[in-house]
């Protein structure tokens, strides 16, 4: 069996020899596509694949209409022992230890992404400044800290040190630059009041799921794989703040002729942060329980394992039953 994960353009060599591969084994693909319109330029790849398992529900919705017999939804999932809620007193201690005693009463947000254009890190900082300005205007203080788990000097993105200085918010941003293990990441999510994703294109968005597993609500645009996380598909309620897309732009390249990018305004992000900030203690407790329960229910690790197991068995059995009629092996 040949198993693919990621963009098909990384595997053009495989699709070019798929007839030879199919003489030996089936081809399975754990697939995600960031956005509409339907990518008909991928059809040759889809037709050459025996089974397409989508880890984004948006991708599944888009592909099942065209390839219903081979398309399934199997979401991302993580073991429960990686990200989980910790004791409230521990959270206080970690917060004081990591951010400093002067920030122990701060409202805290977290952003976990690569510092790259698609993730919109500078726009996030503008949104954070707008929130801080409003906080000072309404409450007379700026007791809030944004944790950015990223490399501020990544050549793929802007110099975030300079951006924070330009905006005058360097005292309200904490950069977590080191590669750290799951245990330490779990602490960062636990000491945060929300996790935010500002990307204009996001196939899934793993950090938001990780934060939800710790009971930390999320702020995200209704785009790509983020939609199924920030919106509870069962009743339409929100697992934090779900943001409507303000602007869609059709972009592309020679290899990907067209795809939409979804933009949310900085003002909308700032208002969403303020909305989380203004929740009462009781509302925060209820929301925390809701997001944790949702992550456990809809992104259950064992369910993903079981679905993959069943999918692999089905693909192998179908391949064996169709092999004689569809494929031949010639020996020279």
Contacts 24+ apart (CB under 8 A), 134-137: 134/270, 134/274, 135/274, 135/277
**80-137 pLDDT tens trace:** 999 999 999 999 999 999 999 999 999 999 999 999 999 999 999 999 999 999 999 9
CA distances from 306 to 9, 195, 300 (A): 29, 29, 10
**Domain limits, the chain:** 2-76+300-326, 88-297
CATH ID of 88-297, from 3.50.50.60, 3.40.50.150, 1.10.3260.10, 3.40.50.2000: 3.40.50.2000
pLDDT for residue 68: 94
**47-81 pLDDT tens trace:** 999 999 999 999 999 999 999 999 999 999 999 99
Contacts 24+ apart (CB under 8 A), 235-244: 237/290, 239/212, 239/287, 239/290, 239/291, 239/294, 240/194, 240/272, 240/276, 240/287, 240/291, 241/217, 241/272, 241/275, 241/276, 243/219, 243/268, 243/269, 243/272, 244/268
pLDDT for residue 127: 98
Return the number of other C-beta atoms located less than 10 Å from residue 157's C-beta. 21
pLDDT for residue 273: 98
Residue of higher predicted confidence among 200 and 326: 200
């Amino acid at each position: 069996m040949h198993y693919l994960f990621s963009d098909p353009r990384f595997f053009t060599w495989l699709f070019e020899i798929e007839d030879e591969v199919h003489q030996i084994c089936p081809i399975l693909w754990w697939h995600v596509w960031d956005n509409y319109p339907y990518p008909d330029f991928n059809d040759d790849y889809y037709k050459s694949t025996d089974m397409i398992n989508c880890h984004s529900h948006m991708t599944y919705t888009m592909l099942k209409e065209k390839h219903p017999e081979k398309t399934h939804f199997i979401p991302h999932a993580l073991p429960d022992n990686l990200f989980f809620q910790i004791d409230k007193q521990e959270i206080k201690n970690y917060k004081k230890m990591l951010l400093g005693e002067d920030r122990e009463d701060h409202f805290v947000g977290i952003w976990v992404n690569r510092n790259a254009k698609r993730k919109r890190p500078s726009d996030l900082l503008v949104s954070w400044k707008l929130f801080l300005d409003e906080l000072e205007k309404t409450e007379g203080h700026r007791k809030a800290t944004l944790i950015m788990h990223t490399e501020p000097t990544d050549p793929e993105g802007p110099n975030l040190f300079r951006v924070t200085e330009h905006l005058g918010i360097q005292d309200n941003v904490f950069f977590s630059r080191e590669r750290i293990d799951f245990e330490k990441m779990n602490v960062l999510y636990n000491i945060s009041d929300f996790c935010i994703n500002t990307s204009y294109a996001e196939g899934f968005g793993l950090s938001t799921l990780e934060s939800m597993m710790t009971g930390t609500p999320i702020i995200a645009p209704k785009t790509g794989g983020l939609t199924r996380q920030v919106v509870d598909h069962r009743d339409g309620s929100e697992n934090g703040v779900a943001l409507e897309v303000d602007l869609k732009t059709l972009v592309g390249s020679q290899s990907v002729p067209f795809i939409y990018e979804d933009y949310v305004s900085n003002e909308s992000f700032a208002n969403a942060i303020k909305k989380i900030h203004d929740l009462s203690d009781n509302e925060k407790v209820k929301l925390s329980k809701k997001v944790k329960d949702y992550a456990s229910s809809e992104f259950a690790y064992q369910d993903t394992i079981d679905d993959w197991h069943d999918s692999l068995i089905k693909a192998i059995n179908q391949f064996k039953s169709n092999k004689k009629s569809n494929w031949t092996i010639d020996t020279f």
